[in-house]
Amino acid sequence: MALLDLDPQVVAKARELAAKAAEPVVALAKAHTTVSVERATLRLAGITGADTTHRAGDVPWVNRVVDTVREHCGLEHGVALPVFHALREHDLPTLTDLAEATAAGQVRYTLPTGRDRDRARKAATAAITRGLRTVDRNRAHRDKLVTKLGDPPRRPWLYLIVATGDIDEDVVQARNAARAGADVIAVIRSTGQSLLDYVPEGATHHGFAGTYATQENFRIMRAALDEVSKEVGRYIRLTNYASGLCMPEIAVLAGLQRLDMMLNDSMYGILFRDINPVRTFVDQRFSRQVHARAGIVINTGEDNYLTTADAVDAAHTVTVSQLLNAHFAHEAGLPDHLLGLGHAFEINPEIPESFRLELAHALLARELFPDAPLKWMPPTKHMTGDVFHGYLLDGFFTLAGLLTGQSILLVGMMTEAVVTPFLSDRDLALRNVRYVLNAAGGLREDFRPAPDGLIVRRAHQVLGEAVDLLGRIVDDGLLDAIADGTFGLMKRPATGGRGADGVIAKADDYLNPAADLLEAQP
């Protein structure tokens, strides 16, 4: 039920402007590829493993192959044709065998022509199709498990983080979190992994403030949550992070191992990790196409803007980013039910009427995106170390989430952003949430903000400011807006940032069967 009486013409204008602002960036993404897109393509085709003999440490075979192809004949035509031509030319059974031969200096990659090109294209398409069938089977299996075990009996779903650095310890914590009431387990990544231009291999036990995202770690945690799902009688979802320099690869690995949600924002890596804007937009489009195929819910990162900018003054930038994220997602094939747009409870609690302002912002997001599983983030910026005050703020956060119909609540902890929370903190946090859910779970049906009251006026104001900003972005260009510090006060020029050297303009005869198959999906 609409409570804000938003003007349909203003809402339509906002969406129209977001589409216009995004259009040049989508065109830019379509005209380029990246080393990570090409590596993701080979991962779908079946390459696995790493060169464990390299003096600088393990190097994934996929990196070795893509880097060598780039050195020999460039990547502007795509990696698939040279690789599958070489596979046939050297009569090797697998891509891993080809990678080993590559490392030994036994392969010279060339771009095939004529009949050789047709053979390489058909072989690459067949291998990548097999990989996508695995993704399809995982999606179907998830649907079966949800039907059999059931979803949580109520919304919002409770989203809880584990982050020990050791995948085996993460499994213990994740199972116990599910038993205590968590519906979504997020395995936060090791600090700095988003800046690695490769995905580590195997199970890991040495992460820093998080656990490395690897295919084997995904497999281990998914299997553990499947076991505890049967025990608790509901399907427990698994989240990780498809962001950073390896966004497309991690998206593919998530599809191959049946993850359910992925952090995937169109601008987070640009703003908060200083990753090149063009690299990010190219990678996020491919990764979101993979998520669409896999049925993975994305979580966007608008909450981060409010940790660097003021949550009242910059509220409209959150709305603008949500509209842009939604358009980029739809263009990549993600429907609304997979669009977990983010926002947060980050207004300074000392501001008069701060709770009413939070309700206005949260309700605006809910009514702009009625069919999206919105992800609502707890207070962090104004957590001071006073655990009693923090516990109260988290209770208000949960209440705001209930009143405004949020879909996914990241469980707030009173020590958040102060110290690494203890397990006892998590237990207290879940008790806090359970109390609010039990005491006020149906309160939304009685919540009717006054038509001319602060909540409604504030929502209209923020939407109007968002429309004005989108108009300026259409005139100036989104890349220039990012460079000027429009979002989160971070200034990121289009020519700067990490990973710029991994962006390649496509040749006229560029071929990527993975991109073609994903583009053609319904």
Residue positions annotated with a catalytic role: 268, 303, 375
What residues contact 323, with CB distance under 8 A and at least 6 apart? 14, 15, 17, 18, 368, 466, 470
Closest CA to 58 of 180, 176, 214: 214
For residue 448, give the 3-state DSSP assignment: coil
Residue type, 226: D
503 in Cβ contact with 282 (< 8 Å):
yes
Q: Among 360, 392, 358, which Cα is nearest to 377's?
A: 358
Please tell me the distance from the alpha carbon of residue 34 to that of residue 160, in angstroms, as a whole number: 33
- Burial string for 403-428 (b: 16+ CB within 10 Å, else e) reads bbbbbbbbbbbbbbbeeebeeebbeb
Task: Specify whether the backbone of 58 is left (phi greater than 0), alpha (psi in -120 to 50) or beta.
Answer: beta
Distance of CA 25 to the CA centre of its chain: 18
What is the token pair recorded at 319? 């709305």
Count other Cβ atoms within 10 Å, centred on residue 91.
7
Cα gap 329→266, rounded to integer Å: 9
Q: C-alpha angle with apex 61: 57 to 67, nearest 5 degrees?
A: 95
